[in-house]
Amino acid sequence: MKHIKNIQKPCIRKGENTACGECQASCQSACKTSCTVANQKCVKTAK
Amino acid sequence: MIHAFEYRGTYLVLDVESGAVHEVDKPSYDVISAVERGNAVNALPYSHSLIQEIMDEIEELRKEGVFDSPAPKAPYADASFSPIKSMCLNVAHDCNLRCAYCFAETGEFHGGRMLMPIETAKAALDMLVQRSGTRYHLEVDLFGGEPLMNWEVVKGIVAYGRELEQKHNKHINFTITTNGLALDDEKIDYINREMFNVVISIDGRREVHDALRVTPNRKGSYDTIVPKAQKLVSLRGDGEHYIRGTYTADNLDFTEDVKALHELGFEQISIEPVVLKPDEPHAINDSNVDRAIEEYDTLLDYVLDQKKEGKPFNFFHFHVDLDNAPCLAKRALGCGAGVEYVAVAPNGEVYPCHQFVGDKDFLLGNVLEKDENGDVPLREDIRQRFASCNIFTKEKCSKCWAKYFCSGGCAANAHKLNGSITEPPDVSCKLLKKRTEIAIGMATVKERE
């Protein structure tokens, strides 16, 4: 393509309806307010 | 839904529902921005053929499912089936500081000063394990007030947790959130050995920290805390930790506070906006939020400059991991407050999260009050309200491009500022969106920086 270049593949639907729940609760990750869920890792894929 | 934005001279387009990111040229950015805002593309200063070329490329991406893709089906959320995997233990409703912006009434949490007895803590851990279902990884954050004020109980909780791990085949990640004032060599050694993560609160520059984080006799705490925090971090090695600060309306030049922390040798830094009602002293509100948003660009310059100079550090809110990102269910439910995450007060009362502690409207139960089966009954109607409160059900969030990154924001902040857990405050959303644009930009354009 001449005008548009994809630089990041889709990531939102990963694990759709297959949540294992083993990841860290987001508010516990580093701070106790204004957490950003997306800055966490999936414990399965990050291994 | 798509979102077009500029990151340091690079034009980016996020396909909201898939998470795909595209880099586009200026004419495409203008065309896509016009479409995003519902404006006519014919009014743009580009030839018809150029606009058609761009529209053809958009159509191709649309067919591939990476441009304006449809929303996924909402994950089913029923609190009654959800295990509890994470617990905040307020081991001390007391504090050795009197920070001006404290959400917990400087440790009292609307209920007077109290330390958690070990038997209450054990009952809380029992409930966590009993309600954790098949979850192997559990989390317990030792919180307050100031948890170091109840140190022997902290150690007792960890020891009991280790027993439960063996007995029930679980792994508990203990974390601690402290102001650092009472740290000593024994506590540093113990924390570095036993805690999966440690968060130490320092606001940045000495004058900024000491203006609000004061002792009961109104003295600043910076000079006592900083050397202790440095020692803990230096001995911690690669262990997870954060130096966490709060910025307020008084230090909207908070890049200087991040710099100050970095110059002290800290490399894991989180500085966050204070959450106060708009008319309270120090509040970030409509009158100053744009200044705070601008400051994130200044902070980004500093982060990238330091990286170039070989002194990189992690600023918590500028990081997203797009390749190993959380799954859809996690993004939908967010922090899990009231559903998979609860907080327990020193008297055993259970609340949806630490910020609701003391608010009787959100009291879920008490770990000391068991039914005939030995289980702790919880208010499932309140838990279900939290389970039902997600980015697919909140009207404002369902239309927002940032929803999969913030997961709808903090329910407690929404309740505090807007009186409803389903209505995120505009100021928080604006700040979150700015940080998210930067984080996406850093993650995708990084190879050129």
Question: For residue range B410-445, what is the model confidence (pLDDT) as tens digits?
Answer: 999 999 999 999 999 999 999 999 999 999 999 999
With CA atoms as reference, report the closest residue to B359 among B192, B109, B58, B76: B109
Q: Is residue B163 over pLDDT 70?
A: yes
- Secondary structure (3-state) at B409: coil
B283 Cβ under 8 Å from any chain A Cβ: no
What pLDDT score does A38 carry?
78
C-alpha–C-alpha distance, residues B153 and B39, integer Å: 61
In this structure, of A20-29, B82-91, B292-301, B413-422, the range with the lowest mean pLDDT score is A20-29
Q: Are B7 and B445 in contact (CB under 8 A)?
A: yes
Contact between B97 and B218 (Cβ < 8 Å): no
Say if residue B124's pLDDT is above 90. Answer: yes
- Name beta bridge partners: B273: B247
Residue A30 pLDDT level (bands cut at 50, 70, 90): very low
Whether A9 shows a pLDDT value over 80: the answer reads yes
**Are residues A34 and B428, on separate chains, in Cβ contact within 8 Å?**
yes
pLDDT at B72 over 90: no
**Helix, strand, coil percentages in chain B from 3-state DSSP, rounded to 5:** 45, 15, 40
Q: What is the pLDDT of residues B173-228, one digit of tens each?
A: 999 999 999 999 999 999 999 999 999 999 999 999 999 999 999 999 999 999 99
Select the residue from B31, B142, B247, B324 to test the A interface by mutation, using most A Cβ atoms within 10 A. Answer: B324
Task: Tell me whether residues B323 and A11 touch, CB distance under 8 A.
Answer: yes
- From B83, B435, B391, B319, select the one nearest A41 (Cα to Cα): B319
Cα gap B420→A14, rounded to integer Å = 30
φ, ψ at B121 (rounded to 5°): -60, -40
- Tell me the average pLDDT across B25-36: 94
The predicted pLDDT at position B141 comes to 95
Q: Give me the percent of chain B exceeding a pLDDT of 90.
A: 84
Query: How far is residue A23 from each of residues A36, B222, B232, B265, B340, measured CA to CA in Å?
Result: 14, 34, 26, 29, 11
Distance CA A45, CA B151 (A): 36
Instruction: Evaluate whether B405 touches A37 at the Cβ level (below 8 Å).
Output: yes
The residue assigned the tokens 């209920």 is B111
Does residue B108 surpass a pLDDT of 80? no
Q: Quick one: how far is CA B349 from the chain centroid?
A: 23
pLDDT bucket at B447, cuts 50 / 70 / 90: low
Q: Do A26 and B407 touch (CB under 8 A)?
A: yes
Q: What is the pLDDT of residue A35?
A: 64
Residue B165: C-alpha distances to residues B27, B156, B342 (Å) = 58, 14, 19
pLDDT in tens, B333-379: 888 999 999 999 999 999 999 999 999 999 999 999 999 999 999 99
Is the pLDDT score of A26 beyond 50?
yes
For B87, the enclosing helix (H) or strand (E) is strand B86-90
User: Could you check whether the bond before residue B9 is cis, i.e. omega within 30 degrees of 0?
Assistant: no
The secondary structure of B158-200 as a DSSP string is HHHHHHHHHHHT-EEEEEEEE-STT--HHHHHHHHHH-SEEEE
Q: Which of B240, B261, B327 has the highest number of chain A CBs within 10 A, making it the mutation to test binding with A?
A: B327
Q: Average pLDDT in the B324-339 region?
A: 87
B95/B114 Cα distance (integer angstroms) = 10
Q: Identify the band that residue B36 occupies on the pLDDT scale cut at 50, 70 and 90.
A: confident
- pTM of the predicted structure, to 2 decimals: 0.94
For the stretch B232-275, pLDDT in tens is: 999 998 889 999 999 999 999 999 999 999 999 999 999 999 99
**What's B83's DSSP letter?**
P
d(CA A19, CA B93): 35
